[in-house]
Structure 1
Amino acid sequence: MKRINQYKKMFNVEKDINLKELKKSYRNLVKEWHPDKFQDGDPKKEEAEVMSRQIIDGYHFLVSIAPETKEAQLDEYTETITNTGFQDFDHKGRVLEVTFTDGKTYEYFGVDVKIFKKLINADNRYRFAKRNIFTSYLYRKSKKDLQEA
């Protein structure tokens, strides 16, 4: 959640992500922080390189969790969570990364340790996740899966 809030703040996004406004904000930030805008030897050039990478990462991240993107991928997501099982899962911080048997990977944000422990101790982990995680938490298709495709 911290990462989401950080990126929303960077792009001046209040609540819901509007892709058209996000793109406009992204373009303005890229123009402002593009490394080629600064001369060699300028200390701001290194800062601009770091900022431009953060801007690009933040843009792709926010696009992946935008309601329009999730709506466009809803059929694929529903197919995955209803017809495939777990292959692997990993929990870091408050992010649960689930890899399904069809090869798709999704990240679920805000999953605390208490819920993760319940998942680990559940008699049927897949059923627990289907009832308590898949539809309850903000998710996005992971970059790992996108790179493999």
Structure 2
Amino acid sequence: MKRINEYRKLFNADANTDLKQLKTTYRNLVKEWHPDKFQDEAEKAIAEEKSLKIIDGYHFLVSIAPETREVNQEDYRITTSTTGIADFKHKGLLLEISFLDGTTYEYFGVNKNVVSKMVNCDNPYRFAKRNIFNSYLYRKSKKDLELA
């Protein structure tokens, strides 16, 4: 959640910001922080770091945007309703679930208690289907997108 808030603050966006506005803000930030605009090496290095953060933030916010989730809703529904869980990892408030069909989704804001209940139940897939898949903000993992 910290990452989401950080990127939203960088782009002056909220949960309902549309992709068109996000893209406009992204282009303006990239123009402002492009490393070629700076002559001093120290400033150029700072601008490079900032521009990489802007690029990463843009791609991240696009992946969790309502429009993106709406377009991919059918694939997500099929994956979560017909494919079992191959593996999962939890770190902080991020739960990464890999499915048997090779797709991986990241769920944001999943606390330790929920993961503990999932681990200790008879059927983790059924628990996740009832308590995680439709309750938390999610996105398709970058790792999976690169493999496809």
> TM-score when scaled to structure 2?
0.98
Q: Percent identity?
A: 63
**What 5-or-longer segments of structure 2 have no aligned partner?**
none
Consecutive unaligned residues of structure 1, counting only runs of 5 or more, are none
Q: Contact 2:18–2:65 (CA<8 Å) still a contact in 1?
A: yes
Distance 1:55 1:134 in 2: 29
Partners of 1:36 and 1:145 in 2: CA distance: 33
Q: In the alignment, what sits opposite 1:112?
A: 111
Partner of 1:28: 28
Which secondary structure state, in structure 1, belongs to the residue aligned with residue 15 of structure 2? Answer: coil
> Does the CA contact (< 8 Å) of 1:105 and 1:142 recur in 2?
yes
What residue number does 1:12 align with? 12
- Is residue 2:66 matched to residue 1:67? yes
Which stretch shows the higher mean deviation, 11-20 or 25-34? 11-20
* 1:129-144 to 2 correspondences below 5 Å: 129-144=128-143
Distance 1:14 1:109 in 2: 16
> Separation in 2 of the partners of 1:114 and 1:12?
32
Shift of 1:14: 2.7
Measure how far apart 1:17 and its partner are. 2.7
User: C-alpha distance in 2, partners of 1:141/1:42?
Assistant: 37
Q: Is the 8 A contact 1:106 1:140 kept in 2?
A: yes
Q: Is it true that 1:37 corresponds to 2:32 in the alignment? A: no
5 Å matches for 1:78-97?
78-97=77-96
Equivalenced residue count is 148
* Correspondence for 2:57: 58
Q: CA deviation at 1:42?
A: 3.3
Q: Which amino acid counterpart does residue 88 of structure 2 have in structure 1? A: F
Following superposition, the deviation at residue 110 of structure 1 comes to 0.1
Q: Deviations over 1:67-100 (max 9, x none)?
A: 0000000000000001100111000110000000
**2-side partners of 1:77 and 1:126: how far apart?**
15
The offset of 1:44, in angstroms, is 1.0
Structure 1 runs (4+) deviating above 2 angstroms are none
Instruction: Report the CA distance between 1:15 and its aligned residue.
Output: 3.2
- The answer to whether the 8 A contact 1:17-1:62 is kept is no
Say whether the 8 Å CA contact 2:15–2:65 is kept in structure 1: no
